[in-house]
Amino acid sequence: MNSFSLANSLSVSVRLYRALLVAYPKTFRDDYETHMVQVFRNSFRDAYHCNGMPGVIDLWLHTCADLFVTALIERISEGSQYMFSPKVILWGGLASLFGGLFWMLTGLSNSPAALVLALVLGLGGLVGLYSRQAGQGGKLGLAGFALGIIGTVLPLAAIWWGFTSGLVANMKRDPASVAPWAFIFPLALVISGIGLTLLGLASWRAKTPHGWRGLPLGLGLLSILYSLTIWLVGIVPLSQGRLPWDTWNFGFYVLYPAVNVLLGLGWMGLGLMLTTEAGPQVTQSPPASA
Amino acid sequence: MSETASGGKTPPTLTPAAFHIMLVLADGENHGYAIMREVADHTGGKMRLGPGSLYGTIKRMLADGWIEESDERPDPELDDERRRYYRLTGVGLKIVRAEAERLEQLVNIARGKRLLRNPRSV
């Protein structure tokens, strides 16, 4: 590469890097954008002079990984300033309360709409519970929160995909063909259950909430049990080429609604706990820093 | 700095990035890119701080009062005047010392258990 192409590639790389910095929160960019770009420019020159193009490629790979991770950290830490507030806990509690009702409705009516609402409102409940920990749950709480969110968003995406791609419409004609798609549900619910369990452990350890400390943990374990029930009464019959509700069976008509009702009661309990504790007695603690 | 750290009861646990940056600043004030290069040199290239890790850690250390921006600038003809220079505060120096002592204790334990292949080189 001659000096002209080096100057060009440096200029393009710097522009691209500057554009990528939009991933960081605005306050962080305002403080450090100029300096980060300067450091990147110097690193680029060094990488090129030491190792040529392989060095530049290595720099870009390293820079992208660094940008992805640190932008996420900065976004989370910035968001945490607004997240740990009684209002968030109160709204999260209300979402959890109504989410519980929809979980029960899902079990009793088997309605996909009720399931979607239960999952969406469950996201609010997770935010409320994480917010209630006020940063005292540490990395365990954060990991649980992230897994809970992933495990809740995944089935929502799968439902959207199932309905838009015609997979659900094909269910009656060929039950076995939808089994791999439907497998996403128990898998996602296990992830969500593990997340809730970790969040529950973090809550227990941090002694937040003050009352019913074991409830989030119990709800997490119940979610894992729920995913096993879905596997048993939904995926096993589908993979054998029959619909779960075709013939009377104990699993689908008794066990599945019962676990749904229990799960609904758990979410309602969590909602009740969060709404009652979201008053002035909620003590605010800043999250731990570096 | 947290209350416990300033109270001197329990020094805060430093992230590896924060500890390496503070080790560089223990030699005197420096700017971001030079810190990044020195950290890579100290660790034989094993720890490479990207711009995000570097300034994210600097931001938190500034907020905790472990480091501060320096008002003094080298000769503008010799250096880019847009650069920001950082230096350790008194609290930062105590913290990095405490962390170094903690690590020394661990190394001594490892040495006592004959886990180090060449104790003199450590």
B70 contacts chain A (CB < 8 A): no
pLDDT of A38 above 60: yes
**CA–CA–CA angle A94, A96, A98 (5° rounding):** 70
Q: What is the pLDDT of residues A214-232, one digit of tens each?
A: 888 898 899 998 888 888 8
Could A35 and B32 be called an inter-chain contact, meaning their C-beta atoms sit closer than 8 Å? Answer: yes
Kindly report the pTM of this predicted structure.
0.52
Going by C-alpha positions, the residue among A24, A52, A48, A53 that lies closest to residue A36 is: A24
Q: Which two tokens stand for residue A164?
A: 């838009």
pLDDT tens digits, A54-86: 888 889 989 988 888 888 788 777 765 656 667
Please state the ipTM of this predicted complex: 0.83
| Per-residue model confidence as pLDDT tens for chain B (122 residues) | 444 444 455 667 788 999 999 999 999 999 999 999 999 999 998 889 999 999 999 999 999 899 999 877 666 665 666 788 999 999 999 999 999 999 999 999 998 998 887 655 54
- Partner-chain contact A43 B33, CB within 8 Å: yes
A contact residues 13-52, partner B, Cβ 8 Å cutoff: 24, 28, 31-32, 34-40, 42-43, 46
CA distances from A170 to A109, A156, A163 (A): 21, 19, 10
Set of chain B residues whose Cβ sits within 8 Å of the Cβ of A46 = 37
Nearest chain A residue to B82, by CA: A35
Q: What is the maximum span of chain B, computed from C-alpha positions, in angstroms?
A: 54
Q: Which of residues 50-79 of A touch B (CB under 8 A)?
A: 62-63, 65-67, 69-71, 73-74
> CA-CA distance, A185 to B76, in Å (whole number)?
62
Q: What is the mean pLDDT of chain A?
A: 82
Residues 6 or more apart whose Cβ sits within 8 Å of residue A62: B48, B50
| A39 to B51: CB separation less than 8 angstroms, yes or no | yes
